[in-house]
Amino acid sequence: MDWRTSNDMIARRVAAMRERFEDLKEKDLYFYNQPISELRGGASVIVNGREMGMYASYSYLGLVGHPRINQAAQDAVAKYGTGTHGVRSLAGTLDLHLELEDTIAEFKHADAAVTFTSGYVTNLTVVSSLMGRGDYVFSDKLNHASIVDGCIMSGAKFRRFRHNDMAQLESRLSKVPSGVSKLVVADAVFSMDGDIIDFPKIVEICKKHNAWLMIDEAHSLGVLGKTGRGIEEHFDLPGTIDIKMGTLSKTIPSVGGYVAGDKDVISYLRHASRAYIFSAALPPAQAAAANESFKVILDEPWRIEKLNANTEQFISGLQARGFDTMQTETAIVPVLCGSDEKAFAVTGHAQKNDLFVLPVVSPAVPVGLARLRATVLAAHEPDQIEYAMDVIAEAGKQFGII
């Protein structure tokens, strides 16, 4: 049976996806889901038996594999085992969870914090628990999928505004009937483009229109601000975010998500959010690793300084070689290639030359804006970054990008 002509939509979707990936595999252009078999310091990994420079990691400060963090995880396994006794509200809470939540609240200069088992789930459950029918939620067009899904799930009126377009946000807010609850949500650093939300303006607009402000710090925790505390520190605007969301899977080398904020809001989330009530707690090793990571960030400030220097070298070096790196100001560096085919070809060249870097293509980004989504880390050394840029530039020339 030919599924392409079948009336069964499920089968048609599955077949279309299979065909797309089979075609890429035949051309040796399928780069996803490659297993890493070993860490080699913070800057390299073993993939398919070869050591490769890591330019696709979220471990911005190079903390994955840090001895103190590994030790904290091992100690937690020895003390508590590998799992919990279920959901947080019943038998799942460990003293470790409360310790981690206190650490996060202190780090984020908030009253309190609550954790969940992934960043994705955090956005889903937090937006949908706070918002409901009759409310309005406003979301930047480039916000992460988990925010979009949370907005849809909430049942609130969902309004998107053009990326970083504060005039459009304000115009949309001004059309909301009075007396209605409003939430504005945005990424601090955008996960595909690496640019930063116009934070001073979004804060001002939210205040003016009496809207709650939620900021997702997945890619700004440990990255923005002198001590890595994030976007409020970066702009010197303390205490301006109502719902401070972040993940424990990027700079923090663990897994999970958190929200920090007012203690009554946090308590509400502990009693109303379905992901907290109906899903098992973070495992002990991951909670302990996350807790130790916040301490390491404060104890080793050189990592943030090195990340900033490496980011500057990587962005300016790629631009000097003729690449368009879009609006990035952070460690996420899009290297614009144009067509999906060109992005795959550049990736192939980079991987053959021992750079583990990955492409982002449509529909994750608009057609024509396919790119390498390269990341630079505190763990890289300047000569490694020069090598990476030279390899990418060779491919750029070969495939007519620069």
Ligand X SMILES: Cc1ncc(COP(=O)(O)O)c(C=O)c1O
Q: Which stretch binds ligand X (CB under 6 A): 214-222, 313-321, 336-344, 387-395?
A: 214-222
187 near ligand X, judged by CB under 6 A: yes
Calculate the CA 284 to chain-centre distance: 23
3-state class (DSSP) for residue 227: coil
Count of residues interacting with ligand X (CB under 6 A): 14
115 near ligand X, judged by CB under 6 A: no
What does the alpha-carbon distance between residue 326 and residue 195 come to, in Å, rounded to a whole number?
8
257 near ligand X, judged by CB under 6 A: yes
User: How large is the angle between the packed helices 199-208 and 166-174, nearest 10 degrees?
Assistant: 10
Among 101, 195, 216, 340, binds ligand X (CB under 6 A): 216
What does the alpha-carbon distance between residue 359 and residue 364 come to, in Å, rounded to a whole number?
10
Q: Which stretch binds ligand X (CB under 6 A): 22-30, 114-122, 225-233, 376-384?
A: 114-122
Rg, Å, the chain Cα set: 22
128 near ligand X, judged by CB under 6 A: no
Q: Is 353 left (phi over 0), alpha (psi -120 to 50) or beta?
A: alpha
End-to-end CA distance of the chain: 46
- Residues 365-384 interacting with ligand X (rule: CB under 6 A): none
The angle subtended at Cα 338 by Cα 169 and Cα 356, nearest 5°, is 100
Minimum distance of ligand X from residue 347's CB (angstroms): 19
- Report residue 371 as tokens: 């790119």
330 near ligand X, judged by CB under 6 A: no
- Residues 39-58 interacting with ligand X (rule: CB under 6 A): none
Task: Give the nearer residue to ligand X in terms of CB position, either 373 or 380.
Answer: 373
292 near ligand X, judged by CB under 6 A: no
For 215, list phi and psi in degrees, rounded to 5.
-120, 130
Among 80, 120, 158, 356, binds ligand X (CB under 6 A): 120
**Which residue is nearest to ligand X, using beta carbons?**
119
Minimum distance of ligand X from residue 34's CB (angstroms): 18
- Residues 230-249 interacting with ligand X (rule: CB under 6 A): 247, 249
Cβ proximity of 118 and 255 under 8 Å: yes
Q: Which residues form the interface with ligand X (CB under 6 A)? A: 118-120, 123, 144, 146, 187, 191, 216, 218-219, 247, 249, 257
